[in-house]
Structure 1
Amino acid sequence: MRPILVFCLPAIGDFIRCHSAIRIIAERFPGQQIDIVTSRIAAPLARLMPHVRKVWIAEKHWKPGLKERAGLAREIRKENYQAAYMLTSSTKACLVPWLAGIPERIGYPREFQFGVVNRLPAGWLKSMVAFGPRKTRLAEQVCAIARLGKRPAEDAPLPAPQLVVSAEALAAWRRRNGIDPARPVIALYTSDFANKRSWPIERFVSIARDYVARGWSVWLIGGPRERQAAAEIKAQLPDAVDFTATPDIAEAMCQIAASTVFLGVDGGLSHAAGALGGPCVLIYGSNRAYVHGPVNEQVIFLEPPISTPDWVENTRAVSEDRVREALAAAVRKHAPQFA
């Protein structure tokens, strides 16, 4: 059987959502090899995804140019792919399977891609002109492409993205970092406090102090965007462990997988926490969780009521008490030994 190529979205959260479509394709074609194309920043996550054999790198935005895309197409041509699923709307990305001679190129004809995309999912026009949440819910769009527009039987839920850190890799990470597996951990993902998606610093600190008083470790998770926020929290809570200088995203996956419960805001690492399967509480405000949040069932979403003034931009309406209750419920259900 000839392999299948899936062009995934480049941003971390969007890329993780693409795994729902990969799961559908793997179920439709059992035993068939699946390769993916994505950005360099998202590529390390692919090795944690079931069903993915190989990753091709295509940088985001306008770089590289057409010359580099043509070079990628020449390399891809050697693999003799049967079909390409275009989960991205990028015209430059769609040119790659066309130049590579992949006979079946499946997707929505966005950005004037008629002819480049040569197999359209059923109901594609209705989907493209739809209004409301279903126009923007990315997880549904990528799954519809993978299903060729066919609805699942009895309106089955979307398959949830999965990331798997092996027990061996997790144990090795704990040994390298001197982590005691018996001590419970709350992982905090704050984003940048200047970002309207975040939650007030004093509330993160208050929650963290509660857990430190109970003997838990507090880990600050993220990358360059979260480093200033982590420094501000650590200045008030010296016991917190700052992991925001982590060199790569694969390390961050070990940090999240090793934690007992994850508390975060809207962002790529929150999608990763959901896909890793651990207990997860997410605070949403500027984006609504139904449209933009993970679809993993163990995730608890906390949002301001729609009646709250400025609810679209304001996470402050999510109280500390609601967060404490949600965290306690998540721990009772998924890690009762630490409740």
Structure 2
Amino acid sequence: MKILVIGPSWVGDMMMSQSLYRTLKAAHPQAQIDVMAPAWCRPLLDRMPEVNQALAMPLGHGALELGERRRLGVSLRDTHYDRAYVLPNSFKSALVPFFARIPQRTGWRGEMRYGLLNDVRVLDKAAFPLMVQRYAALGYEAGRIKTAADLPQPVLWPKLQVTGAEITAVKNAFTVDNTRPLIGFCPGAEFGPAKRWPHYHYAVLAEKLISQGYQVVLFGSEKDNAAGEQIRLALTESAQSFCLNFAGKTSLDQAVVMIAACQAVVSNDSGLMHVAAALDKPLVALYGPSSPDFTPPLSHQAKVIRLITGYHKVRKGDAEEGYHQSLIDIQPEQVYQELSQLLGARKEL
């Protein structure tokens, strides 16, 4: 069986989509699963053993470009896919499998996709409260899974593969000191400072960890580098040499490998948080206005800290520097205590 998946466009969503691939592979071990997604997703897809190959989606996130989508679909006809799964809910995301004439095209109803999809599922959001449940449910025949309770348990969570040799190579490439264990911080957030734990709290936590013999590594994209520098420069001069700001200096694949090298990770609600969870790292996930009720870190080694309830659509907080008060109120000592418990539990295993 040949399967084409039209994948999501965000790091966290792409990570959670692996639950569908794992579900399909468990039911159809001989299936060939190809995933079409933006080219930047390839480092993640290459570390998912269920995925045969990543196919680059050359069109931008908001572009319709009907003619180009038709050309792309027609180019796939000779591949003879048996099934397609369309994970984004947009109309345009269902066009390529339609033009490719894939016999079975499955997805949630979304934006008026009748005809484009011929296996249309109607989503009851209350019945599937988690995004990962919605992805996994698509891997079963229509009508079999009516609620999340019908999913075989446990749901197959994302799980990335990184080898020890890869960790050694990347650490050597960045001249990382091997005498101190690494703690990863992911201080960025896609939608700005309202989802970020304040840099001065990260700095207090980093100072304490460094004083105890750890080395702190900061991860993120190029636009997160300034936030990383705020943390590093808030440290005492003696501690700064043990705080490495890799935000914007690594490829996504290198960041994945370096996160795998960490003893534990502290992260805002971000795509890299989901990467750390998929690497089974002890993880403290810090939430403010965004909610873990829909996209929590999928790991038994993750601890979520959140002081408010509900979802708050906030792009910039009212506090100084755009931070949200609920994240300011999470104190470094609380995070340190949770992190210490996770590290202690790991040592006992």
Same fold (TM > 0.5): yes
**Aligned partner of residue 281 in structure 1, secondary structure:** strand
What is the match of residue 289 of structure 1? 292
Q: In the TM superposition, what are the counterparts of 1:1-339 in structure 2 within 5 Å?
A: 2-58=1-57, 59-63=59-63, 65-120=65-120, 124-125=121-122, 127-128=123-124, 130-131=125-126, 137-148=130-141, 150-151=144-145, 156-191=153-188, 195-237=193-235, 238-239=240-241, 240-306=243-309, 314-335=326-347
Aligned structure 1 segments of 4 or more residues deviating by more than 6 angstroms: 309-312
Structure 1 residue 336: Cα displacement: 5.4
**Paired amino acid for 1:213:** S
* Per-residue Cα deviation, 1:199-239 (whole angstroms, up to 9, x for no partner): 12221100000011112111111112311111111212322
| CA RMSD after TM alignment | 2.5
Mapped contact 1:17–1:294 kept (Cα < 8 A): no
Task: Report the Cα distance in structure 2 between the residues aligned to 1:290 and 1:17, rounded to whole angstroms.
Answer: 14
Task: Report the Cα distance in structure 2 between the residues aligned to 1:242 and 1:278, rounded to whole angstroms.
Answer: 20
Percent of matched pairs sharing the same residue: 25
Mapped contact 1:26–1:51 kept (Cα < 8 A): yes
Mapped contact 2:187–2:197 kept (Cα < 8 A): yes
Instruction: Check 1:13–1:208 CA distance in 2 against 1; reply closer, same or farther (3 A cut).
Output: same
Mapped contact 2:12–2:274 kept (Cα < 8 A): yes
Q: Which runs of 5+ in 2 are unaligned?
A: 318-323
Mapped contact 2:36–2:54 kept (Cα < 8 A): yes
**Paired amino acid for 2:245:** D
**Aligned partner of residue 147 in structure 1, secondary structure:** coil
Higher mean C-alpha deviation, range 137-146 or range 200-209: 137-146
* Per-residue Cα deviation, 1:108-144 (whole angstroms, up to 9, x for no partner): 2211100111013xxx43x24x45xx56632121111
**Aligned partner of residue 105 in structure 1, secondary structure:** strand
Instruction: Check 1:194–1:144 CA distance in 2 against 1; reply closer, same or farther (3 A cut).
Output: closer
Q: Tell me how many residue pairs correspond in the alignment.
A: 328
Mapped contact 2:129–2:293 kept (Cα < 8 A): no
Task: Report the Cα distance in structure 2 between the residues aligned to 1:174 and 1:248, rounded to whole angstroms.
Answer: 13
Structure 1 residue 278: Cα displacement: 1.3
Instruction: Check 1:184–1:205 CA distance in 2 against 1; reply closer, same or farther (3 A cut).
Output: same
Structure 1 residue 310: Cα displacement: 12
Q: Which runs of 5+ in 1 are unaligned?
A: none
Task: Report the Cα distance in structure 2 between the residues aligned to 1:228 and 1:213, rounded to whole angstroms.
Answer: 24
Instruction: Check 1:181–1:298 CA distance in 2 against 1; reply closer, same or farther (3 A cut).
Output: same
Q: Normalising to structure 1: TM-score of the pair? A: 0.89
Mapped contact 1:260–1:335 kept (Cα < 8 A): no
Higher mean C-alpha deviation, range 52-61 or range 211-220: 52-61
**Aligned partner of residue 55 in structure 1, secondary structure:** strand
